[in-house]
Homo-oligomer: A and B are copies of this chain.
Amino acid sequence: MTDEQAHAVELDPAECWELLASVPVGRVAWTTSAGPAVVPVNHVVDAQTVRFRTAAYAALAQKVDAERVAFEADAIDPASRTGWSVVARGRAEVRYDGGRDGAVPLPEPWAAGSRHTVVVVHVDEITGRRLQHG
């Protein structure tokens, strides 16, 4: 651990996309009548979109179609207090057909159960920060 405080450096969109694609898991946040909700999902990045699977009956699939969502990923080392975080925001599209529109890669489902529903987030805003020393 260090007592030295880190400085946050803004990342440009290209760096943000690269980092977002470099990790398998992120968190999607959406709005419900009972306030915001957020869950981790494994995702892939393709052509300004973030894609992940969910179950058709999940609250997520039922609520987010055509709505705005935020998708966050990070890699932060608590010991050195360095790392990065990226947030992508945009409109979600729920595809019950599995989202197979050509050669687009889809994340494998990790948890057991039927997860043929794919959420495609059409990102229109992406921001990120790197936390570093010196």
Q: Which residues of A contact B (CB under 8 A)?
A: 5-8, 23-25, 27, 29-31, 34-40, 42, 67-72, 74, 76, 78, 81, 85, 87, 89, 109-112, 131
Contacts and interface: CB of A to CB of B under 8 A. Distances in A.
Contacts of A78: 23-25, 42
Given A7-B111, A8-B111, A38 B34 contact: no
A65 to B, nearest CB: 14
A112 B35 contact: no
Given A78-B24, A112-B5, A112-B7, A89 B37 contact: yes
A71 to B, nearest CB: 8
B25 A30 contact: no
| Integer count of this chain's copies in the complex | 2
Nearest to A71: B38
Contact of A35 (B6, B24, B69, B76): B69
A110 B8 CA distance: 10
B27 A38 contact: yes
Contacts of A67: 35
